Amino acid sequence: MNNMPVPHHIRATMLLACMLLSACASNPSEHFYTLNPAAAIPASSAPDAGAGAGANAGFGVAVGPVRVPEIVDRPQLVVRRGPTQVDLLEQHRWAQPLRAEIAQAIASGLRAHLPSARIALDRDAAAQNADVRVTVDISRFEAVPGEAVTVQALWSLRPAANRPPVAGQSSSREPVRGAGNEEIAHAFARAVANISRDIAAAVSAMRNPAAAGQ
C-alpha cells in the first residue's frame, strides 16, 4: 500500500486543530458564586426582628450604596492563606460585583425580617421615595478556607424626614462547613444574612421605639 504524502496546508490545519483542542482541554473552567438568595440560607439563630413588622406597613427602605475594602473589590474570590498572604482565586468569581452581591443579599434579608416593608436597591426607581436609606461600609470580608469567614460592617439608617440618622455596627463569623469554595460562598451568605438581621432590628426600632424599649 502506497503512503500518499499529506499536503503541507493540510498538515498545518491538522496541527492547528490539535493545538486548539489541547488548549481547550488544559484551560480550567470558571466557577461563579452568589450571595443570593440570602433568604434561602438561614442566618444564625436569633430573635426575629420582624416581630414589629406591622409598624412597617407601607414603609419604604432603600439599600445602598454598599462599600467594600479594596482588597476584595474584585471579581475573584479572595482567601487568606496566612498572616500576610492572600490568594486571588482566578477561576472562582462572584457572579456580579461584590458590592452589588452584598446589597442584594441585605435587601433579601430585610424582606424576610420586614415582610410588610417595601425594600428596594438604591439604584431602583422604587427607592426614590424611600422613608429610610441604608448605607453599609464593609470593613472586613475575610475567608480562611476550611475554617471560617468573618464579615464586619458599619451601617447607617438615614430617615427621609427631619430626624437624626441611626448608626450601628455588626460582626458575624460563620464556619465554613466543608471543603470547596462553594462552602466559602455559603458561609459568606450566612454572615451577610446575620448583618441584615441587625439592620432590620434597627429599622423596626426606628419605626416603633415604644416596642423597642420594652
Mean pLDDT over 68-74 rounds to 97
Contacts of 107 (CB under 8 A, 6+ apart): 63, 119, 120, 121, 196
Phi, psi of 128 (to 5 degrees): -65, -35
User: 47 pLDDT band (50/70/90 cuts)?
Assistant: very low
pLDDT for 63 equals: 97
Mean pLDDT over 43-62 rounds to 56
170, 155 Cβ separation under 8 angstroms? yes
pLDDT for 209 equals: 66
210, pLDDT greater than 70: no
Of residues 178 and 48, more confidence is placed in: 178
106, pLDDT greater than 90: yes
> How do residues 124-174 score in pLDDT, each as one tens digit?
887 888 999 999 999 999 999 999 999 999 999 999 877 889 999 999 999
| Pairing status of strand 132-144 against strand 148-159 | antiparallel
pLDDT for 201 equals: 97
193, pLDDT greater than 50: yes
Domain ranges of the chain: 55-208
User: 38 pLDDT band (50/70/90 cuts)?
Assistant: very low
User: 50 pLDDT band (50/70/90 cuts)?
Assistant: very low
73, 88 Cβ separation under 8 angstroms? no
Q: How far apart are the first and last CA of the chain?
A: 98
Q: Kindly report the CATH number that applies to the domain delimited by 55-208.
A: 3.40.50.10610
pLDDT for 128 equals: 84
pLDDT for 55 equals: 46
Percent of the chain with pLDDT over 70: 74
